[in-house]
Amino acid sequence: MKEINAGVRIKEIVPAVSNNGDIIAAKVDGVPVDLDRPLSKDCSLEWISLNSPEGLDILRHSTAHLMAHAVQTLFPGTQVTIGPTIEDGFYYDFKRDESFSPEEIEKIEARMSELAAKNLKISREEMPRGKAIEFFRRLGEDYKVEILEDIPDETVSLYREGDWVDLCRGPHVPSTGVIRAYKLTGVAGAYWRGDEKNEMLQRIYGTSWSTREQLESYLRRLEEARKRDHRKLGAELGLFMVSDVIGPGLPIWLPKGAVVRSILERYIVDLERSVGYQHVYTPQLARVDLYKRSGHWDHFKDNMYPPMRFEDKEELVLRPMNCPHHIMIFQHELHSYRDLPLRLAELGTMYRYERSGVLSGLSRVRAMTLNDAHIFCTPDQIQTETVGVLRLIEQVYRNFGFKDYWYRLSLRDPNDKTKFVDNDEMWNNAERCLRQALSEVGVSYEVGAGEAAYYGPKIDVQLRDVLGHSETLSTVQLDFYLPERFGLEYVDRDGYRKRPVMIHRGVISTMERMMAFLIEHYAGNFPLWLAPVQIRVMTVTDAHQEYGRKVYEELRASGWRVELDARNEKLGYKIREAQLAKIPYAVVIGDREVKDQTVSPRRRGGEKMEPSSVADFAEALTQEIARELQGRPI
Amino acid sequence: MKEINAGVRIKEIVPAVSNNGDIIAAKVDGVPVDLDRPLSKDCSLEWISLNSPEGLDILRHSTAHLMAHAVQTLFPGTQVTIGPTIEDGFYYDFKRDESFSPEEIEKIEARMSELAAKNLKISREEMPRGKAIEFFRRLGEDYKVEILEDIPDETVSLYREGDWVDLCRGPHVPSTGVIRAYKLTGVAGAYWRGDEKNEMLQRIYGTSWSTREQLESYLRRLEEARKRDHRKLGAELGLFMVSDVIGPGLPIWLPKGAVVRSILERYIVDLERSVGYQHVYTPQLARVDLYKRSGHWDHFKDNMYPPMRFEDKEELVLRPMNCPHHIMIFQHELHSYRDLPLRLAELGTMYRYERSGVLSGLSRVRAMTLNDAHIFCTPDQIQTETVGVLRLIEQVYRNFGFKDYWYRLSLRDPNDKTKFVDNDEMWNNAERCLRQALSEVGVSYEVGAGEAAYYGPKIDVQLRDVLGHSETLSTVQLDFYLPERFGLEYVDRDGYRKRPVMIHRGVISTMERMMAFLIEHYAGNFPLWLAPVQIRVMTVTDAHQEYGRKVYEELRASGWRVELDARNEKLGYKIREAQLAKIPYAVVIGDREVKDQTVSPRRRGGEKMEPSSVADFAEALTQEIARELQGRPI
């Protein structure tokens, strides 16, 4: 508790020293505000430092303003539209006919430096909506006028820095001098309000940080991410393609990518079978009625493909999820408690309608094949089944070499139960089971209160990607709702019919997202067990062709994925090409190898191995794969 | 050459003795006619004996008449519609509100015997169409009237036997006494003119043969086919199901069927990869434009699903064939002659719209996954590539134990080239290549002149099914049309761009048809390598549970598909259940096995094997599978 006079501005009471560096805003009763805001009544007050997540977000928003300010002074007649923050940065969309050239971007950055150096005060001003409309109309800012006409507020706020002004909710940093470490990172076209029917705007992306060091570290990560971008590597390594004739968001797995996918599929199917899952194949479409029954039609229709109406009145739709199909299998027979848990799994292809603007390589697509499974079990089995799934996840992550990941337990909001299916006993039992399962497997986890799905609590596994962002790869979701909705039953030991619980779980996500993730995780350097081509045999001269071919055939016959490069090219060139293709082993065949009937392998990184017989080399590779897959039960 | 007087009826010159048994009709200038027909001018004359394919077809048509005759005398007011012959038999559709009961079918058969015993003369009568319409209208035969109103002929023919008459083109056997060996085999509902919008009729199926022996042999085959019917066995063995909620023609592969399918898939993919195919995954749908380009939209639209139109004007359609997708992959890069042959393969799921009336189990479905491949090659490579495919087919058929099959080479009609793509040189080269390929592989073949596809000649492999009917399982089709239509090119050795040839080929057909065929071929007794469950371990009493479980775990850990039956049931009951489930091996665990640490296996047929260690038993199974798959290169 601290007592201050009404009307005192927050900045007047900022502590001189803070642990978290510069204080650039505050939270009054939980709401972020400018430091310039006067305090008028009793309130709670928290400081927002520049380097906190909220502080960085405000900084990036102010940097977006600074950029728009620079753009409008450099290119008069360019209109502003919106400029939000995004992860690690911001963008601003401008109405301008031409896109911004690299030279213009440099000019904008230079002008931003000048404006930042002036340390212009950033000040808030409130205005009745009608007056603001007139104000922006006079400025010729048609988009701001349109935004204002669409909002219900009676009073709106404007932010000024120097003679530049923007419509904005705020808050902002106190002055432009705080903006010290930023960089414009890209340009793109974007439709006004994201709608393809509207006019095209010019978007500039940027990033902003509290220190130069942070900015540089981020730019290095960004550069690494660009090198690893699965779309770039996917094309370079011949893994997949997208065809405009076939359609956007519908990637095609080229032979090399398809090899990796089929290894992934067999790996997970075999592993799941070994721990008691039963795989099925179900059609990728169903009568619309199925989704009316499941509730997807009412709640998920916008993400579904349009239904297909046949002459005979049949109405089918591509499925957005696999669960209802598995429920039909469960309902096909009457089950006893002895049949449970029933673990139905499928590499299930599903279809989601995504706007073309958000589609991207393999990571945002319109058709995807999920490593899906549904466990039908009694409420008593929730814990052991969850433990089983968590162990499977741990096993898989070991095999893929994932280390930077963590668990998140999402529970219902104890203060607002209305957003969740109403079954207190279930929720309490489930929460206890999930917590105990996490302890049993011995992993730590964070809790997200209120983050559960409507139908039950869940555990997500978060992995960190190349940019340091977190991504959900695996998930275990309890569901008390669909069993109820479909009236699922089993006959219990006591002869009574009871309601099973459903567990939706995915371990390696969709084949598409997993592949995108793996390409970036490995930077295209797939481990030996996954590499589309494992070995390239290369001859030094034509004199080595015969033995080279023999080695190639020998390796191929024992099941290795091997290529032969017997072209009439320099060895150095051949080795370089194999490295660019990120093939784990280049096997050189020259005079010595022919004479000794050996091979001289080099690892992808360049390391030369001792010459050995083909059999010994193959044995070494087998050992390497065994190490990669250690801990797999089969 | 034989001279006879004009006006003589054919029956007056029938030779007294013929090699082919009774003569029941004749062909005048190639057209089948009744024996009662007078000859009016010079003509060629061939005899049709009862036991020839054409004779049996006429007999069956006359049997359909005899049945309709019986039905109308037994059930006055029942109207006749149509009664064609089908493979091995016939049916007749009647307008009657109730379906025919088994007792009524018996009555009909009895009445047919009476009418046959009377040896009624079957005589033809010609009538102007208008008069015939009046005639049938007076009889109250509305469907005959409707048929007559739709046909353009000025004169129509009626056939009478006794006082019964039917509108019919004929020809027929001379009298009902010829009909000696027949059986009514089933009843079903059927829509008038096959259209679901029309009223439902009652269909009776029957079969008819020249002798009782032939009939009985056929009925035995029919009985065997019923026992092997994949729909019946598929349900009994838990291989697949169909759900009304999901939709007809969209089968669901239950866990046991899915095991077989995934073995089939891995088998063929591995085999294809070992002989140089590159597998891909492509989306199961595409923009409608793709099929406009390929020509499917114009020529195949009726068999396609309706397109899906999205809000943003995107228009996608489920694919009816995989070829255009593979063409897009070919076109993704510029190819040199060095890249050819390029063999792109896929387990490609496709969608065909079939009327609900023709859907059946796994054999006629609306979604299917084809073992598909497209070979892009130079015209010079047609022969070696065809040899490669034929060798692959021979290999696969050996592994599946198929013995009753033959090759059919379909060529264009040399007298009517208009129905075929115009490229004489291509056709001549292709025919020569295909013939040489068949000789090189050393298989004999029949030739179907005029049976080629529009786009090129083909080789089909015909298998005989349980009923003795032939079915096409594998196919190799040359295509000179799509490469032209899509403008496919490769750069030849001489630097010029040339047009490749495409070979469409399928070895194990769709997973659905192959599974249907295999279930019936093996009568559910899958060979060890394909069996969904290979071994069932069963304990004699509870005292053997511990060791039984150990044996089960040991077999399971070494990758065998094994179940444990440790229930408290009699051993005989457990063995019988394992036999009904058609599991190749039942492994009995009793006192002696526990004491000696052995197992006592019995084969599916009942044969007991010597007790052995688990390891020796497993080794014997490994040997058995090696024998089943002998000749596989991997």
pLDDT in tens, A30-62: 899 999 888 888 888 889 999 899 999 999 999
Beta bridge partners of B45: B28
CB B209 within 8 A of CB B182: yes
pLDDT tens by residue, B1-18: 677 777 788 888 877 655
Q: Identify which has the larger pLDDT, A8 or A56.
A: A56
Judge whether A262 is closer than 8 Å to chain B, CB to CB: yes
Taking CB atoms and an 8 Å limit, are A329 and B254 in contact across chains?
Answer: yes
Q: Give yes or no for residue A71 having a pLDDT over 70.
A: yes
- What pLDDT does residue B21 have? 57
Judged by DSSP in three states, A248 sits in coil
Q: Which band of pLDDT confidence, cut at 50, 70 and 90, is reported for residue A424?
A: confident
Residue B532's Cβ-count burial label (10 Å; 0-12, 13-18, 19+) is buried
Q: Which band of pLDDT confidence, cut at 50, 70 and 90, is reported for residue B479?
A: very high
Judge whether A306 is closer than 8 Å to chain B, CB to CB: yes
Residue A168's Cβ-count burial label (10 Å; 0-12, 13-18, 19+) is buried
Judge whether A292 is closer than 8 Å to chain B, CB to CB: no
Taking CB atoms and an 8 Å limit, are A356 and B314 in contact across chains?
Answer: yes
- What pLDDT does residue A327 have? 98
Q: Which band of pLDDT confidence, cut at 50, 70 and 90, is reported for residue A632?
A: low
Q: Which band of pLDDT confidence, cut at 50, 70 and 90, is reported for residue A356?
A: confident
Q: Give yes or no for residue A89 having a pLDDT over 80.
A: yes
pLDDT tens by residue, B183-235: 999 999 999 988 878 999 999 999 999 999 999 999 999 999 899 999 999 99
Averaged pLDDT for residues A540-569: 95
Lookup result for tokens 């010290």: A180
- What pLDDT does residue B17 have? 58
Residue A346 distance to chain B (closest CA, Å): 10
Chain B residues with beta carbon closer than 8 angstroms to that of A261: 281
Taking CB atoms and an 8 Å limit, are A279 and B285 in contact across chains?
Answer: no
Q: Give yes or no for residue B54 having a pLDDT over 60.
A: yes
Q: How far apart are CA A109 and CA A121, in angstroms?
A: 19
Judge whether A252 is closer than 8 Å to chain B, CB to CB: yes
pLDDT tens by residue, B64-115: 999 999 999 999 999 999 999 998 999 999 999 888 999 999 999 999 999 9
**Model's pTM, two decimal places?**
0.87
Percentage of chain A lying above the pLDDT 90 cut: 82
Residue A466 distance to chain B (closest CA, Å): 27
Residue A242 distance to chain B (closest CA, Å): 9
| Optimal mutation site among A191, A241, A245, interface B, most CBs of chain B within 10 A | A245
- What pLDDT does residue A422 have? 83
Residue B599 distance to chain A (closest CA, Å): 23
Q: In the structure encoding, which two tokens stand for residue A595, read together?
A: 């004479």
Question: Nearest residue on chain B to A312, judged by CA atoms?
Answer: B196
Chain B residues with beta carbon closer than 8 angstroms to that of A310: 305-306, 353
pLDDT tens by residue, A374-401: 999 999 999 999 999 999 999 999 999 9
Taking CB atoms and an 8 Å limit, are B252 and A328 in contact across chains?
Answer: yes
Q: Identify which has the larger pLDDT, A151 or A491.
A: A491
Chain B residues with beta carbon closer than 8 angstroms to that of A196: 312
Judge whether A349 is closer than 8 Å to chain B, CB to CB: yes
Averaged pLDDT for residues A269-283: 96
Q: Which band of pLDDT confidence, cut at 50, 70 and 90, is reported for residue A634?
A: very low
Averaged pLDDT for residues A586-613: 94
Judge whether A284 is closer than 8 Å to chain B, CB to CB: yes
| Optimal mutation site among A285, A301, A303, A327, interface B, most CBs of chain B within 10 A | A285
Q: In the structure encoding, which two tokens stand for residue B216, read together?
A: 């009985």
Taking CB atoms and an 8 Å limit, are A312 and B283 in contact across chains?
Answer: no
Q: What are phi and psi of A607, to 5 degrees?
A: -60, 130
Neighbouring C-beta atoms of residue B463, cutoff 10 Å: 20
Averaged pLDDT for residues A621-626: 94
- What pLDDT does residue A15 have? 76
CB B233 within 8 A of CB B524: yes
What is the CA angle B61-B63-B64, rounded to 5?
65
Question: Nearest residue on chain B to A353, judged by CA atoms?
Answer: B310
Q: Give yes or no for residue A201 having a pLDDT over 50.
A: yes
Taking CB atoms and an 8 Å limit, are B329 and A559 in contact across chains?
Answer: no
Distances (CA, A) of B542 to B536, B552, B569, B571: 16, 15, 10, 12
Taking CB atoms and an 8 Å limit, are B279 and A293 in contact across chains?
Answer: no
| Optimal mutation site among A196, A236, A237, A246, interface B, most CBs of chain B within 10 A | A246
Taking CB atoms and an 8 Å limit, are A286 and B259 in contact across chains?
Answer: no
CB B408 within 8 A of CB B379: no
Residue A73 distance to chain B (closest CA, Å): 37
Taking CB atoms and an 8 Å limit, are A251 and B310 in contact across chains?
Answer: no
**What residues contact residue A131 under an 8 Å CB cut-off, 6+ apart?**
none
Beta carbon pairs, A and B, within 8 Å: 151
Judge whether A30 is closer than 8 Å to chain B, CB to CB: no
Chain A residues with beta carbon closer than 8 angstroms to that of B356: 312, 314
Judge whether B275 is closer than 8 Å to chain A, CB to CB: no
Q: What are phi and psi of A16, to 5 degrees?
A: -65, -40
Q: Which CATH architecture has domain B535-628?
A: 3-Layer(aba) Sandwich (3.40)
- What CATH code is assigned to A57-228? 3.30.980.10
Q: Which band of pLDDT confidence, cut at 50, 70 and 90, is reported for residue A423?
A: confident
ipTM: 0.87
Residue B508 distance to chain A (closest CA, Å): 18
| Helices A102-117/A53-74 angle, 10° precision | 110
Q: How far apart are CA A502 and CA A377, in angstroms?
A: 6
pLDDT tens by residue, B115-146: 999 999 999 999 999 999 999 999 999 999 99
Q: Give yes or no for residue A432 having a pLDDT over 60.
A: yes
Judge whether B30 is closer than 8 Å to chain A, CB to CB: no
- What pLDDT does residue B70 have? 97
Averaged pLDDT for residues B254-277: 97
Q: Give yes or no for residue B20 having a pLDDT over 70.
A: no
CA dihedral B1, B2, B5, B8 (to 10 degrees): -110
Taking CB atoms and an 8 Å limit, are B279 and A255 in contact across chains?
Answer: yes
The beta-carbon neighbor of B254 closest among A269, A280, A349 is A280
- Per-domain boundaries in chain A: 10-49, 57-228, 240-281+318-522, 535-628
| Optimal mutation site among A260, A275, A280, interface B, most CBs of chain B within 10 A | A280
Q: Give yes or no for residue A18 having a pLDDT over 70.
A: no
Taking CB atoms and an 8 Å limit, are B196 and A312 in contact across chains?
Answer: yes
Judge whether B278 is closer than 8 Å to chain A, CB to CB: yes
Q: Where are the beta strands (DSSP E) in A359-432?
A: 367-377, 405-411
Judge whether A634 is closer than 8 Å to chain B, CB to CB: yes
Judge whether A632 is closer than 8 Å to chain B, CB to CB: no
The beta-carbon neighbor of A305 closest among B282, B308, B328 is B308
Residue B190 distance to chain A (closest CA, Å): 15
**What residues contact residue A317 under an 8 Å CB cut-off, 6+ apart?**
A285, A286, A287, A288, A291, A304, A305, A306, A307, A308
Q: Give yes or no for residue A203 having a pLDDT over 70.
A: yes
Q: Give yes or no for residue B633 having a pLDDT over 90.
A: no
Taking CB atoms and an 8 Å limit, are B246 and A310 in contact across chains?
Answer: no
pLDDT tens by residue, A320-351: 999 999 999 999 999 999 999 999 999 999 99
- What pLDDT does residue B39 have? 86
The beta-carbon neighbor of A306 closest among B243, B310, B328 is B310
Percentage of chain B lying above the pLDDT 70 cut: 98
Chain B residues with beta carbon closer than 8 angstroms to that of A278: 255, 258
Judge whether A302 is closer than 8 Å to chain B, CB to CB: no
Q: Give yes or no for residue A84 having a pLDDT over 80.
A: yes
The beta-carbon neighbor of B306 closest among A293, A309, A355 is A309
Judge whether A196 is closer than 8 Å to chain B, CB to CB: yes
Put simply, the chain B residues between 203 and 242 with a CB less than 8 A from any chain A CB are 241
What is the overall mean pLDDT for chain B?
93
Put simply, the chain B residues between 366 and 425 with a CB less than 8 A from any chain A CB are 367
Taking CB atoms and an 8 Å limit, are B258 and A278 in contact across chains?
Answer: yes
Q: Give yes or no for residue B301 having a pLDDT over 60.
A: yes
Task: Report the top-level CATH class of B240-281+318-522.
Answer: alpha beta
